Amino acid sequence: MTIDRTVIEAEGLTLAYDEKIVQENLFFQVLAGDIFVIMGGSGCGKSTLLRHLIGLQRPERGKVRYEGLDLEDMTEEERHRFLKRMGVLYQQGALWSSMTLEENVSLPLFYHTSLSVKMTAELARFKLSLVGLAGFENFYPAEISGGMRKRAALARAIALDPEFLFFDEPSAGLDPLSARRLDELILEIRDSLGATVIMVSHELASIYTVATNSVFLDTRTRTMLATGNPRNLLRESEDTTLIEFLSRGTGKREVSLL
Amino acid sequence: MGKPSKYTLSSTSTGILQLSLRGSWTVDAGVPDFGEVLAELDNRTRRIFFETSALESWDSVLPVFLNRFLPVLEERKVEVDLEGLPGGVRKLLRLAEENRGKKRVEVESPADLASKLGNYTLAGFKQIGEMAVFSLDLGRDFTRLLLGRTYFRPRDLLYFIQNCGASALPIVSLIAILVGVILAFIGAIQLEMFGAQIYVANLVGIAMLLEMGAVITGIVMAGRTGASYAAQLGTMEVNEEIDALKTMGVSPLAFLVIPRMLALILMLPLLCIYADFLGILGGGLIGVGMLDLSFTEYFIQTREALNLRQFGEGVFKSLIFAFLVGFAGCFYGIHCGRSAAAVGRAATSAVVAAIVMIVIADAIMVVVFNLL
């Protein structure tokens, strides 16, 4: 992997939700291998930005580029190939409720590869065992706990060994220990797959633990205040809103994880 | 509890008042009026302080009372000493103080008739546009499906076929037999006057084949299957399951909508034929039981009255109704908002729209078939 290779680029991105402008004029770059965190207060448009990055919503203005290619300009085939390279973990997991865990993880494999049924099932079981869910293959999403559902969704997100992994508040709604374990799991998976991770989070603990790069969206001004490594931002930024967020309201310029 | 007065106002020295609170200041005990206090205030009052030794219990009622009362005092330039109040009350007052004067955010909702009407019209047009786009997408994905470029799980199709076929038989049976009975009963009363009871068989047979078989199965399936499609797809939309399909490159229309609609289109004509038979059977029961006809007579008369064209018209109608019910259910499900309330609305809209469309389509088809 080449260092400092820009893989995702937002250029003058303006996001709208229900015809209401959520964020304006976003410029940032994600480098290959980054763990890029989208941070900001509640309701500032973090998830909306993520939806734009994965192509679920069209930008009001501006562009999202993947390796120089505009998401909007992709042909159907290019888009299909691009979708194969990415995995998404949704906020509530978004497992398909009418399928078992194994079927959930198998579907992307089945859809994007021409592997045999046997091989697909074997791969799906392997991915489930990676997230600690070996033995739960035949359970339906409604039959397992919230934390397990998130992990199963993670197994589905990494089913195709994606190069881009998107997480929408992975640890939201989990107890601190499960949240931390999930963070560790994400780190391990990123290291083993060599993927670029983009995640939405407002958990400072996980931001400081995992992030190498970030963008901060402000609720009041409806635009980004800064982009960069959150630790450096905390040390060097002059912006009071950003410092207040990063220091959990204390204004101290050093990372405290509690 | 329920003491007439919960406070007394006494003057300790000129211009200084003591407000003593007593008893229970809780939601259960009710909120006292502060008009009395105001009446006792006069221009000489400069300062007021509180005494709460006899206060038994309090909840939010007390701060609400004070919150109403304090601005009046402020206006009259009376100095208020809150020291005597319980610590909790002072804290709550301070918290509320920080937000005092903030304007209530008005949610925009145009009140006048003209703009309401305009908004409804625009929303209507928007929905028609969305339906058109949905139809086009559906057509495109169906073509792609035929070309083998997208897919759904055959097992899903089988499941939906079972669900809107065999599982619907009990309710369709019940309603079809009863409709046959009702038709025969109404007909019998009228035709008996002319001694033409035997023509009940014609009435029931033709009505079932041409109209009732298709319409009642259509409406039953709108309530049963259309609503459940809308609720299923709506819930999937709320849970981001549909987004998860999209970001995987799987078309939700091909994967979720087409098997559902196909199942309905395959099964509703069969249900319609089944309902035709049971309706005629129901009519036969009345014919035999009330009109002293024999079964053989009744069924020979029925056979004479019916022809294949009537049968074909009914089945064709049910095919159209199947499409409409599936379309309404899936359209409202896929376009569901992102809340639990939206799922309920989607199910309701799906049923209402399906029934309205069934009736409109039926009217059009009756006219067209008559011209042909």
pLDDT computed for residue B2 by the predictor: 44
Q: A77: burial class by Cβ within 10 Å (0-12, 13-18, 19+)?
A: exposed
String of DSSP letters for A132-186:
T-TT-TT--GGGS-HHHHHHHHHHHHTTT--SEEEEESTTTTS-HHHHHHHHHHH
pLDDT computed for residue B361 by the predictor: 97
User: In degrees to the nearest 10, what's the CA dihedral of B134, B135, B140, B142?
Assistant: 110
Predicted confidence band of residue A190 (pLDDT cuts 50, 70, 90): confident
Least CA distance to B238: which residue of chain A? A94
Cβ pair B248:A97 closer than 8 A: no
ipTM: 0.86
Least CA distance to A53: which residue of chain B? B247
Residues B226, B332 contacting (CB under 8 angstroms): no
Helix (H) or strand (E) holding A89: strand A86-89
Cβ pair B244:A86 closer than 8 A: no
Give the closest-approach CA distance of A145 to chain B in angstroms. 16
Would the pLDDT of A4 be above 80?
no
Residues B354, B261 contacting (CB under 8 angstroms): no
The predicted model gives A68-97 an average pLDDT of 86
The predicted model gives B188-210 an average pLDDT of 91
Residue B68 vs residue A85, higher pLDDT: A85
The predicted model gives A101-120 an average pLDDT of 89
Q: How many angstroms separate the Cα of B30 from the Cα of each of A72, B35, B248?
A: 62, 15, 59
pLDDT computed for residue B1 by the predictor: 40
Spatial strand order of the sheet with A61-66 comes to A20-31, A6-17, A61-66, A69-70
pLDDT computed for residue B3 by the predictor: 45
| pTM for the predicted model, two decimal places | 0.81
Spacing of C-alpha B205 from chain mean position: 36
Strand partners, B330: none
Task: Report the residue of B147, B229, B241, B334 to disrupt the A interface, i.e. the one with the largest count of A CBs within 10 Å.
Answer: B241
What is the token pair recorded at B187?
A: 């007909």
CA atoms B352, B358, B361, B362: torsion sign = negative
Would the pLDDT of B342 be above 80?
yes
In this structure, of A94-98, B124-128, B148-152, the range with the lowest mean pLDDT score is B148-152
pLDDT computed for residue B83 by the predictor: 83
Q: Percent of chain A having pLDDT more than 90?
A: 18
Which are the contacts of A247, defined by CB distance < 8 A and separation ≥ 6?
A234, A253, A256
CB atoms within 10 A of CB B122: 10
Residues B236, B256 contacting (CB under 8 angstroms): yes
Give the closest-approach CA distance of B247 to chain A in angstroms. 6
pLDDT computed for residue A1 by the predictor: 45
Would the pLDDT of B172 be above 70?
yes
Residue B32 vs residue A257, higher pLDDT: B32
Q: How many angstroms separate the Cα of B176 from the Cα of each of A182, B214, B215?
A: 56, 10, 11
Which are the contacts of B334, defined by CB distance < 8 A and separation ≥ 6?
B134, B233, B237, B242, B252, B253, B256, B257
Which are the contacts of A184, defined by CB distance < 8 A and separation ≥ 6?
none
Q: B240 — contact with chain A (CB < 8 Å)? A: yes
Give the closest-approach CA distance of A60 to chain B in angstroms. 19
Cβ pair A111:B239 closer than 8 A: no
In this structure, of A65-74, B10-19, B176-185, B318-327, the range with the lowest mean pLDDT score is B10-19
The predicted model gives A238-249 an average pLDDT of 83
Of these ranges, A63-67, B38-42, B224-228, B368-372, the one predicted with the greatest mean pLDDT is B224-228
The predicted model gives B342-371 an average pLDDT of 95
Cβ pair B249:A92 closer than 8 A: no
Predicted confidence band of residue A256 (pLDDT cuts 50, 70, 90): low
Q: Percent of chain A having pLDDT more than 70?
A: 98
What is the token pair recorded at A255?
A: 């990372």
- What is d(CA B89, CA B86) in angstroms, rounded to the nearest whole number? 5
The predicted model gives B124-141 an average pLDDT of 94
Give the closest-approach CA distance of A80 to chain B in angstroms. 6
Task: Report the residue of A17, A54, A90 to disrupt the B interface, i.e. the one with the largest count of B CBs within 10 Å.
Answer: A90
What is the token pair recorded at B32?
A: 């006292």
pLDDT per residue as tens digits for the range B286-324: 999 988 889 999 999 999 999 999 999 999 999 999 999
pLDDT computed for residue B98 by the predictor: 77
Residue corresponding to tokens 């509180």:
B50
Residue A2 vs residue B353, higher pLDDT: B353
Give the closest-approach CA distance of A31 to chain B in angstroms. 21
User: In degrees to the nearest 10, what's the CA dihedral of A145, A146, A147, A150?
Assistant: 120
Least CA distance to B149: which residue of chain A? A111
Least CA distance to B241: which residue of chain A? A94
Predicted confidence band of residue B101 (pLDDT cuts 50, 70, 90): low
pLDDT per residue as tens digits for the range B264-280: 999 999 999 999 999 99
SS3 content of chain B, % helix, strand, coil (to 5): 70, 10, 20
